[in-house]
Amino acid sequence: MDKVWADFFKSDYPGIDAGKPGGMEKIHQAMIANGDYGNAAYLIKPQMLEPRLNMFIARNNEWVIWNNKGYFKASPGGAAFIGWYIYKGEDNNAEFYTADKLYDTYYRPDIVNELIQSTETTAAILQKFKQPETDLAVSKQVSNMPVLRLRSPVLPATVTQKNLRLSFDTEHPEFISEFLLFHNGKRVPVNTEALRGGITGDRSIGVELVAGDNIFTASLLNKSKVETTPIQFRISYTGVQATSSLYILAVGIDKYRNSRYNLNYARADARGISNLLLQSAGRIFKSVTIDTLFDELATIANIKERINTLKTKIRPEDVFLFYYAGHGIMNEPAEGTKPDFYLVLHPVVQMVGNEEMLQNNGLPAKGLRELLVEIPAQKQLVIFDACNSGGAMNVFTRGAGEEAAISQLARSTGFTVLASTNQEQFASELNELKHGIFTYALLKGLEGDADLMKDGKITVKEIELYLNEIIPVLSEKYKGVQQFPQSFSRGMDFPIILKPGN
């Protein structure tokens, strides 16, 4: 258990390196593990003797840490290990709702981080985050749940046509807030309103299949953003396997309208990734198409225009890569509004203290999600190399907020998201590399170092694993402190490049 938990503390709390001698003792001084049963434990602040958090580590190293109000932080699959039993009456069995079904409400790494770091009481911390001190009424949140069933095609299904309509039955459509449909792990844009109307409804959605197996997962969110149990089904398409193309939209900003925000290597980073893939990815893809937006061209209007053009060309079997190098920041929204991670585009002249400026000229992760989900490609990779200059904000809490926003981007779309959101650029230390550390490592990985399986192919998952290993080493060498990238994946793994010489 210590190995997994050491990695957790090492990545989120750089002042405590659990991998070094005495490291775990420092952690245990901060949080005492008490009441250990199996792989679960309570975490208690020794100076307060207050039951603080619970943690569970599974045999497959998935983990989750949560407090008694239900707020949690977890590995990608960890939220499925905890949840709530809801009473359904004397004549019915209680129903279990896992935490991943209430992800939008209860996934709060910022609260968990603060509970670990702070000596304030739990009640004071929850008040600071404007969360109720008493348990949230989960039973009320799950009380009005819609029902979703697949009507056609009849399963098992093998079809010969590429375009197909999926027909669903719904009950209690008035409780529906959102319809979630994933095709081979990638979110399919659908009109939720089409599932509403009447006590029951028969609604159909058009999809474009790829050759071979097509795995669909469908679910509904109720008005409280609680997800129904997903239904999963497979449709086999006997058509000819189409060759795929790679499409890249790369955004790099060195020169901002406000020159105080200027960077040194964002354009070089975006150009370096694009050029490498143009030269080498053509051995996997039938074609590579690159679109770039640099400096003053990096605006919301231009990004929307490029994506709207691309979505008319890209097919489901293609691969799409969105790369951004520039500033990024968590916003400071009005009370009661959930914060989001913003890409700070060229026109932004004030990142902190001018919410209207950021909303009008920056691109939030939620807005990017809405744009990218319209692109048909089932295999999508999103990369942020974002320098965060929001020094006025608490770095501990801000980092957790970024994690939540970026995790939600990957979870809600089926993309793989790789991100580096650094507090500073450390430009003088990076002159030797001529790139930011994150993109320098990414380039090295694509050039062959990330071929972990030694099979000549470099996949998205291999890149993710390589970055997680090498960036702490490089950042400690060039900055003197370890930097840890963030990576979140829900979609398929796929090769992005062939190793040179293969």
For residue 54, count other CB atoms closer than 10 A to its CB. Answer: 17
Residues ≥6 apart with Cβ < 8 Å to 219:
148, 179, 180, 227, 228, 229, 230, 231
pLDDT greater at residue 195 or residue 4: 195
Confidence band, pLDDT 50/70/90 cuts, at residue 29 = very low
Quick: pLDDT tens for 306-322: 999 999 999 999 999 99
Residue 333 has what pLDDT? Answer: 67
Q: What is the CATH number of the domain that holds 296?
A: 3.40.50.1460
Residue 335 has what pLDDT? Answer: 64
Q: Which of 392, 412, 427 is the last residue of a domain?
A: 427
Section 323-331 average pLDDT: 90
The reply to whether 166 falls in a domain is yes
Most confident of 1-5, 23-27, 249-253, 407-411: 249-253
Helix axes 460-479, 437-444, angle to 10 degrees: 130
Residues 338 and 315 in one domain: yes
Nearest to 382 by CA among 410, 422, 344: 410
Q: How large a percentage of the chain has pLDDT more than 90?
A: 40
Residues 341 and 274 in one domain: yes
Q: Which of 175, 204, 237 is the last residue of a domain?
A: 237
Residues 153 and 128 in one domain: no
The reply to whether 501 falls in a domain is no
Q: How large a percentage of the chain has pLDDT more than 70?
A: 79
Quick: pLDDT tens for 117-149: 888 888 888 888 877 655 557 878 888 899 999
Residues 134 and 176 in one domain: no
Residues 165 and 186 in one domain: yes
Q: What is the CATH number of the domain that holds 212?
A: 2.60.40.10
Residues 311 and 422 in one domain: yes
Residue 493 has what pLDDT? Answer: 86
Separation CA 485–CA 468 (nearest Å): 6
The reply to whether 8 falls in a domain is no
Quick: pLDDT tens for 33-75: 444 444 566 565 555 556 788 888 888 888 999 988 889 999 8
Residues 90 and 201 in one domain: no
Helix axes 395-413, 365-372, angle to 10 degrees: 10
User: Could you tell me if 85 and 157 are in contact, meaning their C-beta atoms sit under 8 angstroms apart?
Assistant: no
Residue 323 has what pLDDT? Answer: 97
The reply to whether 161 falls in a domain is yes
Residues 423 and 333 in one domain: yes
Assess whether pLDDT exceeds 80 at residue 391.
no
The reply to whether 298 falls in a domain is yes
The reply to whether 257 falls in a domain is yes
Quick: pLDDT tens for 447-486: 999 999 998 889 999 999 999 899 989 888 888 877 888 8
Residues 279 and 367 in one domain: yes
Please provide the DSSP assignment of 82-139 as one string. -EEEE---TTS--EEEEGGGGHHHHB-HHHHHHHHH--S-HHHHHHHTT--SSPP-HH
Domains held by the chain: number = 3
Residues ≥6 apart with Cβ < 8 Å to 213:
234, 235, 236
Residues 293 and 221 in one domain: no
Nearest to 205 by CA among 157, 169, 158: 169
Please provide the DSSP assignment of 10-33 as one string. HHH-TT--TTSTTHHHHHHHHSEE
Residue 59 has what pLDDT? Answer: 85
User: Could you tell me if 80 and 100 are in contact, meaning their C-beta atoms sit under 8 angstroms apart?
Assistant: yes
Q: Which of 373, 402, 427 is the last residue of a domain?
A: 427
The reply to whether 201 falls in a domain is yes
DSSP state, residue 154: P
Section 376-400 average pLDDT: 65
Quick: pLDDT tens for 190-215: 877 766 654 445 578 899 999 899 99
The reply to whether 497 falls in a domain is no
Residue 446 has what pLDDT? Answer: 94
Question: What residues form DSSP beta bridges with 37?
Answer: 40
**Dihedrals phi, psi of 4, to nearest 5 degrees:** -65, -45
Average pLDDT across the chain, whole number: 81
- Give the domain range for residue 206: 147-237
Residues 289 and 204 in one domain: no
Give the DSSP H or E segment for 152: strand 147-152
Residues 109 and 156 in one domain: no
